[in-house]
Amino acid sequence: MDTPDKLKYSAEHEWLDADGKVGITAFAVEQIGDIVFVELPAIGTMVEATKAFGVIESVKAVSELFAPASGKVIAINDTLADTPETVANDPYGAGWLVKIELSNPSEVNALKDAAGYRAMIASL
Amino acid sequence: MHQTALDARHRALGARMIPFAGWEMPVQYAGLVEEHRAVRSAAGLFDLSHMGELYVTGPDAGRALDAAIVTTPSKLAIGRAHYSMIAAADGGVIDDLIVYRLGEQEWLLVANASNAETVATALRQRIVGFDAKLDDASLRTSLVAIQGPLAADILQPFVPIELSSIKYYSGTKTTACGVPALLARTGYTGEDGFELFVDWADGVQVWDTLLEAGKSRGLLPAGLGARDTLRLEAGMPLYGQELDRGTTPFEAGLGRVVKFDKPGDFVGRAPLEAAMEQPRKTLVGLKITGRGIARTGYPVYLPAAPEPCGVVTSGTSSPTLGTAIAMAYVPPEHAAPGTALEVGIRSQRASAEIIPLPFYRRST
C-alpha cells in the first residue's frame, strides 16, 4: 500500500502535506471502493482537526472526510466535481481534496509519519 | 453468526465480508461497479444461501397457503412460480416471497434472510388445522444464482435439460453441476438468470463449476453490494426499505399481487381491502438532476417547501445510467412522472424528477 514518506497521516486516513494540502490515503480509497461523489467545503470555511469537513461517496455508501488539522480552507480541488474517480486513481496527487491554512501548526505533531501510519493500517 | 457453505470460497476470492441478517456475507469482491457491469453485460455468480427456504407440503398445503399469504398458490401450475407477500392481520407486509409449486402437494416459499424465522413462525401458526406441514430448510440449503445475459449459455453444459424450455418464473427438479438441484429461472437483478437450490454441502461444487466455466466469458462473483444496485435499477423493492409492516402493497405499487378475487379469507384481507382505497403514499422512481446522491432516509420536498413531503427508501449512483437514482415515497397527489421534487442531501437541496420505474429494463 502506497504511503509516501513526505506526508503526515491522521487516524481517519487523511494525509496532509507541508503546503497544507489534504487528501485521503490509498488505504482509504481501497476501503471506500468505487468513488462516485465528493462534497467539499467552500473556500474560506474553517475546519477543525478530527472533525468532518466533507463527504466522499461510493456507489454503496457515504463516508465522512475528517480534517487532519485545523485551519481555513484556502483552495479546493474543483475538478473532483466532474471526475471524483481521480481521488481513487491518484490519491496523493491529482486527487487531493482541499488546501488548508493551518491555524495551529503544532497540531501536525499529533499526526503519524508514514512508518507510524503503515504500522497502524497493518494492525487493522 | 451463520456462515454459508461457500464462506472459504469468498475469503479466498478476497471478498469483503459483512454481517447481514445474521449471516456473514460477501458485500463485494473485486469491486461493486465491476461486478454490476459483469451482470449487465455477461454474468455474475451470487451466493444467496442466507435466504430462507420454507417447504409446505401435504394434501391441504395449497389451501393452507391460499389462506396464509396474499396470492393463490393452489392455482400455480406445477413447475411455475409467482411473486407474493405474507401480510400481518392488520394488513402490514411481513415479507415478500417467491412461491414455487414443485409438485401436486409441494410448494417452496423463498423468504428474505432477515424475515425467514418470522415467516416460518407465522406460516406454522397459519397452517394449523390444515393437513399440511412446514419444513424450514434454510440451514440445509445452498442457493447459488447465476444472472446475466450469458447465464443460460454458461449453465447449459451442466444441466441435462434444455434451458430454453424453462420459462421465466419456472422451476424444476433436475441435476446441475453433478448434484441434485431445484433449478429456477428467477432472479433479482433485472437480467435473465437462474437460481440453483441445492443441498448445503453441494453448494461448493455448483459454485466452483460455474465460476470456472464462466470465467472466460466475463462472469464474476458478485456480492450483496452489486445485488442491491442491480435490483434498484430494475425497480425491484427490498424488504426493510420499500416494504415494511407500515406499508401496504398498494402504496409500494404491488397491488396487482394481492388476489382479492380468490375464494375464502386470507390473513390481512379486510384491512388490505380498506387500504386499497386510500394509499397514504406512493412509491416513485427519482432521477436526481441536481448535485449529490440521494440515500435511504433522506427527506423529499416539493420545490421550495419548508417541510418534507416524503422520504427516500433506496438510492445510489446508477452504474448503468451514470446518474443518481432513488426510490422514494411521496404523497399520491404528487407521484406523477415528470413531477419536480427536491431531495435534502445533508444541508442542501438537490433537484429531482419523478421518472417511471423501472430505471433499467433489459433489451431482450
Sorted by where each starts, the structural domains of chain B and their CATH numbers stand as 2-49+139-233 (3.30.1360.120), 281-355 (2.40.30.110)
| Cα A50 from Cα A47, distance rounded (Å) | 9
- The whole domain housing A36 covers 19-105
Task: Give the start-end residues of each E strand in chain B.
Answer: 2-3, 16-20, 23-28, 44-47, 52-57, 81-87, 93-103, 106-111, 133-136, 141-147, 171-176, 179-184, 193-199, 220-221, 282-288, 299-301, 310-317, 324-330, 340-345, 348-355
Q: Whose grid coordinates read 448535485?
A: B291
**Interface contact flag, A37 B28, Cβ < 8 Å:** no
Report percent pLDDT > 70 for chain A. 100
Mean pLDDT of A102-115: 96
pLDDT given at position B230: 98
| Cα A29 from Cα A1, distance rounded (Å) | 11
Let me know if residue A120 belongs to a domain: no
pLDDT given at position A124: 86
Bridge partners, residue B175, by sequence: B180
Let me know if residue A119 belongs to a domain: no
pLDDT given at position A1: 77
Q: Which residues of chain A neighbour B36 with C-beta distances below 8 Å?
A: 59
Mean pLDDT of A92-112: 97
Structural domain count, chain A: 1
A93: exposed, middle or buried (Cβ count in 10 Å: 0-12, 13-18, 19+): exposed
**Interface contact flag, A34 B293, Cβ < 8 Å:** no
Report DSSP state, residue B261.
T
Pairing of strands A21-24, A35-39: unpaired
Let me know if residue A64 belongs to a domain: yes
CA distance B33 to chain A (A): 7
pLDDT given at position B364: 65
**Interface contact flag, B293 A33, Cβ < 8 Å:** no
Let me know if residue A54 belongs to a domain: yes
Is A73 in contact with A45 (CB distance < 8 Å)?
Answer: yes
CA distance B342 to chain A (A): 18
**Interface contact flag, B32 A55, Cβ < 8 Å:** no
Chain B residue with minimum CA distance to A31: B16
Pairing of strands B299-301, B310-317: antiparallel
The set of cell numbers assigned to A37 is 461523489
Let me know if residue A53 belongs to a domain: yes
CA distance A18 to chain B (A): 31
| Cα B326 from Cα B232, distance rounded (Å) | 8
What residues 38-57 of chain A have any CB closer than 8 A to a CB of chain B? 39, 55, 57
CB atoms within 10 A of CB B194: 24
**Interface contact flag, A59 B27, Cβ < 8 Å:** no
Let me know if residue A76 belongs to a domain: yes
Bridge partners, residue B3, by sequence: B24
Is B202 in contact with B180 (CB distance < 8 Å)?
Answer: yes
CB atoms within 10 A of CB B262: 17
| Cα B295 from Cα A62, distance rounded (Å) | 9
Is B226 in contact with B36 (CB distance < 8 Å)?
Answer: yes
Q: What is the CATH number of the domain that holds A68?
A: 2.40.50.100
Let me know if residue A14 belongs to a domain: no
The low-confidence residues of chain B, meaning pLDDT below 70, are 364
Q: Does any CB of chain B come closer than 8 Å to the CB of residue A85? A: no
**Interface contact flag, B27 A60, Cβ < 8 Å:** yes
Residue from A58, A60, A89 to probe the interface with B (highest B Cβ count within 10 Å): A60
A33, A62, A81 member nearest B31 (Cβ): A33
Q: Is the dihedral of CA B127, B132, B133, B138 positive or negative?
A: negative
CB atoms within 10 A of CB B61: 25
Is A26 in contact with A1 (CB distance < 8 Å)?
Answer: yes
pLDDT given at position B363: 85
First to last CA, chain A: 13
Let me know if residue A42 belongs to a domain: yes
